[in-house]
């Protein structure tokens, strides 16, 4: 009889809630994906490469045309110089890249610090590598790093810190001061970093995303993960990339080649074409999604829900404590069934959930869907 390596892990909350939304014919603001099309030129490029016969294995690290375009974009948008041959690896989704980085870095007994609420793939990756996840809760008011708690969590076994900004599920954005503090910590304790930056271009209200790659002390120790799915509204294409120093990249690729080996060839070529033709496309994403956030939040003004507008990502937390103190896991299912509106409970992203009453809603949806969702929520 097989003994599970992940005995406490079931089907992800995203799969369960999307399935329930489909079953109930509910508006699905749970799983994070747009309900509108990707740019037409990108879709046409994909079809063109498929029909041109570009359907066999790509190079293990990714097609060079795409890695070169990634390097150009890093220079354009972040002022980061990066070697496309030795420091960039195209992966079939950031989750696979995170898994490979963990498996390449963590040995049995190593401890990995992660900040709660944290994305649900982090801990299983660490456990499968034989490591131990150390959960440090973010502050309850702003979902910011609690520096005292972070320092208290450090031990002789600490090997890595995992960060995520813009942050899923809270929508908070790490300020530069916190990254500078983290830089000092990892240099002093000789630690590695995984920096999950898949929502890098979705930052609002004049705030700025600061990449770990922009700070020399973090750059030298970090695996930074990015997502074309989030940037170009093609989550189903499952393609992203990892940027890391040559030494770390070499170790990541040793694992990557035996997990998926390659990302999908025509997807890579299509994205490369689009990035070359539209290098400034990401610059318009903040305004696009901020308008959707504002539309959704303003439509909720007459509801009993409380909110602080999200600073980044395409997620909005809603505080339902003025309506009920029921658990968020029960309530999200109840509202899906009774009111036809699906969301995600954030308690599932904690090791020890605090007394909070939040549900997470995705606003990467068409305007009519956002308006209809807000109307239903206002009626509760």
pLDDT at residue 9 in the model: 87
What average pLDDT score do residues 68-74 get? 98
Q: Report whether pLDDT(1) > 90.
A: no
Q: In this structure, what is the dihedral angle of CA atoms 230, 197, 153, 132, given to the nearest 10 degrees?
A: 60
Q: pLDDT tens digit string along 182-191?
A: 999 999 999 9
pLDDT at residue 303 in the model: 98
Topology (CATH) of 13-38+283-378: 3.90.1150
Banded model confidence at residue 54, pLDDT cuts 50, 70, 90: very high
Which two structure tokens, joined as six digits, stand for 264? 């999908």
Q: pLDDT tens digit string along 140-170?
A: 889 999 999 999 999 999 999 999 999 999 9
Q: pLDDT over 90 for what percent of the chain?
A: 96
Q: pLDDT tens digit string along 215-246?
A: 999 999 999 999 999 999 999 999 999 999 99
The highest-level CATH class for domain 41-280 is: alpha beta
Banded model confidence at residue 310, pLDDT cuts 50, 70, 90: very high
Taking the CA atoms of 215, 288, 298 and 365 in sequence, report the sign of the dihedral they define: negative
For the chain, give every residue range classified as CATH 3.90.1150.10.
13-38+283-378
pTM assigned to the model: 0.97
Q: In a 10 Å sphere around its CB, with 0-12 CB exposed, 13-18 middle and 19+ buried, how is residue 360 labelled? A: buried
Angle value at C-alpha 104, between 102 and 107, nearest 5 degrees? 80
What average pLDDT score do residues 271-288 get? 98
Q: pLDDT tens digit string along 342-365?
A: 999 999 999 999 989 999 999 999
What average pLDDT score do residues 321-328 get? 96
What average pLDDT score do residues 175-196 get? 98
pLDDT at residue 361 in the model: 98
Banded model confidence at residue 130, pLDDT cuts 50, 70, 90: very high
Residue found under tokens 């390449």 = 104
Among 114, 104, 92, 360, which residue's Cα sits nearest to residue 227? Answer: 92
- Strand order of the sheet with strand 222-227? 88-91, 240-243, 222-227, 192-196, 158-164, 111-116, 132-137
For the chain, give every residue range classified as CATH 3.40.640.10.
41-280
Mean of per-residue pLDDT scores for the chain: 97
- The count of C-alpha atoms lying within 13 angstroms of the C-alpha of 12, restricted to the half-sphere facing its C-beta, is 13
């Amino acid at each position: 009889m097989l003994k599970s390596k992940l005995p406490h892990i079931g089907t992800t909350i995203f799969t369960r809630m999307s399935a329930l939304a489909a079953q109930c014919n509910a508006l699905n603001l749970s799983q994070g994906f747009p309900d509108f099309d990707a740019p037409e030129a990108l879709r046409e490029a994909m079809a063109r490469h498929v029909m041109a016969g570009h359907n066999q294995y790509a190079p293990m690290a990714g097609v060079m045309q795409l890695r070169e375009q990634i390097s150009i974009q890093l220079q354009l948008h972040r002022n980061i110089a990066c070697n496309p041959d030795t420091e960039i690896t195209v992966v079939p989704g950031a989750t696979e890249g995170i898994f490979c980085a963990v498996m390449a870095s963590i040995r049995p007994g190593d401890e990995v610090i992660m900040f709660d609420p944290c994305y649900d793939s982090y801990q299983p990756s660490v456990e499968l590598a034989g490591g131990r996840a150390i959960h440090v809760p973010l502050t309850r008011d702003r979902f910011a790093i609690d520096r005292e708690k972070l320092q208290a969590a450090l031990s002789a076994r600490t090997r890595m810190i995992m960060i995520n900004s813009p942050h899923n599920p809270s929508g908070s954005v790490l300020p530069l001061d916190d990254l500078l503090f983290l830089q000092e910590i990892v240099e002093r304790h000789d630690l590695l970093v995984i920096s999950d930056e898949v929502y890098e271009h979705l930052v609002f209200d004049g705030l700025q995303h600061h990449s770990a790659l922009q700070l020399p002390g973090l750059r030298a120790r970090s695996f930074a993960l990015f997502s074309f799915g989030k940037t170009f509204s093609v989550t189903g294409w499952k393609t992203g990339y990892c940027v890391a120093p040559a030494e770390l990249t070499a170790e990541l690729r040793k694992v990557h080649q035996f997990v998926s080996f390659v990302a999908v060839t025509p997807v890579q070529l299509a994205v490369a074409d689009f990035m070359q033709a539209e290098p400034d496309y990401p610059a318009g994403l903040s305004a696009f999604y901020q308008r959707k956030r504002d539309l959704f939040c303003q439509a909720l003004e007459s509801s009993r829900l409380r909110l602080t507008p999200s600073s980044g990502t395409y997620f909005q937390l809603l505080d339902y404590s003025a309506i009920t103190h029921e658990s968020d896991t029960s309530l999200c299912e109840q509202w899906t069934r009774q009111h036809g509106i699906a969301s995600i409970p954030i308690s599932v992203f904690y090791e020890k959930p605090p007394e909070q009453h939040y549900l997470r809603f995705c606003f990467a949806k068409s305007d009519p869907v956002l308006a209809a969702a807000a109307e239903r929520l206002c009626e509760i």
